[in-house]
Amino acid sequence: MKLLRHGPKGQEKPALLHTDGTVRDLSPALPDIVPGTLSQPGMAALRSLDASTLPIVPQGRLAVPWTGMRKFIAIGLNYADHAAEANMPIPKEPIVFTKTVDSAVGCNHPVVLPQGSVKSDWEVELGVVIGTRARYVSEADALNHVAGYCTINDVSEREYQLERGGTWDKGKGCDTFGPIGPWLVSADEVGDPQDLSMWLDVNGERQQTGNTRTMIFTVAQLVSYLSHFMTLEPGDLITTGTPPGVGMGKKPQPQFLKPGDVITLGIERLGEQKQTVFAWDPELIDG
């Protein structure tokens, strides 16, 4: 299943992308896609629906594919070749930081640079959406707690992240710095999360090409690891690191985002995103 939420801000409606390519309204079956929807019983109920009988609706503005997210957790340097381009050692354990829930926006929402930004960067990443509470789970059981997957752009302000006091969170959680979607794709439809190709372009030029098979820590390892430090609840999101090709690592000169840039990115089976970069404008953030 490919689940989505669309419509004007504050009036989003739940829907799914049918196999025939049409958007089908889920409103007759549920008021919204919330954490409870992502539970095993909730997903089973959605699978039991005959999507062909649901109303076809025109796709509106795409929002984050579910609502009620409590935690947006991120993993750093999870691809060995990205660690090398960042001149950082391969981590012995996952590097964990957080993105604010307020950074989460729909897949095509404008990316708005914060005031004073000089080193904002791009990162295509696999997102993992929790469907069943995970607390001290084993690696063997970890994927049973995953509802599905999504495409994420982990936009990052490198000066804030690396030069402003040593904590990554302040460069990762800016408003609009977490485009998500277009869909939440159910785990059964994705299959093996360790064999998904991924890419990102800036202004039509390929910057990142990778595959989740080159992760240092797999999705199962990450879910298990995190569950030993925090309780993962339905609707929580884990973004799992990026392959090489970020702007910070460009040679001979780093390349960072500027107003007017257009970012396009995608992950196999999970859909594509497109964002235009803007200078600071609170109306664009809230719109």
Structure tokens at 137: 């789970």
pLDDT digits (tens, 9 = 90+) for 63-114: 999 999 999 999 999 998 888 887 878 899 999 999 999 999 999 999 999 9
pLDDT digits (tens, 9 = 90+) for 209-218: 999 999 999 9
pTM of the model: 0.97
Question: Does 21 score more than 90 pLDDT?
Answer: yes
Give whole-number Cα distances, 209 to 76, 201, 204, 245, in Å: 17, 9, 14, 7
Taking alpha carbons only, the member of 256, 262, 266 closest to residue 278 is: 262
Percent of the chain whose pLDDT exceeds 90: 90
- Mean pLDDT along residues 220-225: 98
Please give the pLDDT value at position 163: 87
Three-state SS at 8: coil
Q: What is the C-alpha separation between 231 and 179, in angstroms, rounded?
A: 24
Q: Domain 72-286 classified CATH 3.90.850.10?
A: yes
Q: What is the DSSP secondary structure assignment for residue 110, as one 8-state letter?
A: P
pLDDT band at 287 (very low <50, low <70, confident <90, very high): low
Please give the pLDDT value at position 214: 93
To the nearest whole number, what is the mean pLDDT of the chain? 96
Query: Residue ranges per domain, the chain?
Result: 2-53, 72-286
pLDDT digits (tens, 9 = 90+) for 100-111: 999 999 999 999
Q: What is the C-alpha separation between 13 and 30, in angstroms, rounded?
A: 9
